[in-house]
Amino acid sequence: MGRFITRRLLQQIPILIGVSILVFSIIQLAPGDPLASYTQDPNMTKETLEALKEAHGLNKSPVLQYIDYVKNALQGNFGFSFQLKQPVEKLIAERLWPTFYIAFGSLIISIIIAIPIGVISATKQYSVFDYAGTVFALAGISIPAFFLALLLKKWLAIDLRLFPLSGIETPGAMYTGFARMMDYLRHTFIPLIVLGLTGAGGLMRYTRSSMLEVVRQDYIRTARAKGLKERVVIYKHALRNALIPVITLLGFTLPTLFSGAVITEIMFALPGMGKLQHQAVMQRDYPVLMGTNLFLAIFTLLGNLLADISYALVDPRIRLD
């Protein structure tokens, strides 16, 4: 296992180099540049603009710019945000934890909702519960996150006044310890539910179809023929097998959770990666764009690695070495 992980981590290096070249090219090809907004400023002279370009290395050829970027990045220096006037690594680090929290929190909610419903739907195929679950999943897949977010905000935050409208903590409250945790939870309840519900639909359908296939297998009949209780047959013998394909889906979901929450983060004014990236795109903030995209690439690769390792943990037929 250890050897496998090391080998896989080493394999990621060429992939990351490729990704960085691709992302760099796309950013360069996009119209506009970071200094475009300054040209609107009547006080800005041509000379100052040139001097600024020079200072940021923007007048060099793209190839040289890329080489400079990689040189700095290898030393842990991912550049300086043009707009926020802060080092990129600091900006990402600040937004990492809220993003992590929202991503994993909503993933856990999705799993808690989707897997039991998927299993029950499959074992009681074509029952009222199954149809209700299917309708729920369809709704989860097709209702856009922003719309659900607006509905829940109106209902829970405005009408019932149960939760705050936006933000991640009460400004200026300076809670500590448990009170601070509860404050976080209260602020993020609606976004977590929104992301959890919209993610649960697909996962539930996936669990259901995987489960339906497994309960027809011969070894499930063997398990019943041993006299095992139906609960043990379903939740031990069948579920463990049914989860194998679900893990693949989760491996792919992880990176989209880090980037896909952009709209939700903006709507709830959460200081996360999505919001940072959105701002950077709007302002052509090259270093921040490079930094966040590389970060997401790393997470995609880590997600895949995590899925492969979980595979081996669940399915003894898969050996990693």
Partner 1 sequence: MKYLLEVKNLQTHFFTEDGIVPAVDGVDFELEPGQTLGIVGESGCGKSVTSVSILRLVPNPPGRIVGGEILFEGKDLVKATESEMQSIRGNDIAMIFQEPMTSLNPVFTIGKQISEAIMLHQKLDKKAAKERCVQMLKLVGIPRAEQAVDEYPHQFSGGMRQRAMIAMALSCNPKLLIADEPTTALDVTIQAQIIELMKDLKEKLNTAIMLITHDLGVVAEMADHVIVMYAGRVVEEADVIDLFKDPKHPYTIGLMKSKPSLDGNAKRLDVIPGAVPNPLAMPKGCAFHPRCSHAMDICKEKMPELNKFGDNRKIRCWLHEKEGGEK
Q: Is 231 in the site for partner 1 (CB under 8 A)?
A: no
Q: Is 221 in the site for partner 1 (CB under 8 A)?
A: yes
Q: Is 234 in the site for partner 1 (CB under 8 A)?
A: no
Q: Is 218 in the site for partner 1 (CB under 8 A)?
A: yes
- Applying CB under 8 A, which of residues 61, 177, 317, 321 lies at the interface with partner 1? 317
Taking CB under 8 A as the binding criterion, the range among 21-29, 103-111, 180-188, 234-242 that sits at the site for partner 1 is 234-242
Complex with partner 1: residue 71 or 236, whichever CB lies closer:
236
**b/e per residue 44-82 (b: at least 16 CB within 10 A):** eeeeeeeebeeebebeeeeeebbeebeeebeeeebbbbb
DSSP single-letter state for residue 78 = -
Give the burial class of 167: count Cβ atoms within 10 A of its Cβ; 0-12 exposed, 13-18 middle, 19 or more buried.
middle
Instruction: Give DSSP secondary structure letters for 190-218.
Output: HHHHHHHHHHHHHHHHHHHHHHHHHTTSH
Taking CB under 8 A as the binding criterion, the range among 12-20, 50-58, 300-308, 309-317 that sits at the site for partner 1 is 309-317
Give the burial class of 293: count Cβ atoms within 10 A of its Cβ; 0-12 exposed, 13-18 middle, 19 or more buried.
buried
Q: Is 124 in the site for partner 1 (CB under 8 A)?
A: no
- Residues 153-212 touching partner 1, rule: CB under 8 A, are none
What's the distance, CA 76 to chain centroid?
24
As measured in angstroms, the least distance from the Cβ of 290 to partner 1 is 43
Q: Is 2 in the site for partner 1 (CB under 8 A)?
A: no
Distance CA 160, CA 153 (A): 10
- Applying CB under 8 A, which of residues 112, 219, 252, 269 lies at the interface with partner 1? 219
Q: Is 315 in the site for partner 1 (CB under 8 A)?
A: yes
List residues near partner 1 by CB under 8 A: 217-219, 221-230, 237, 240-241, 314-317
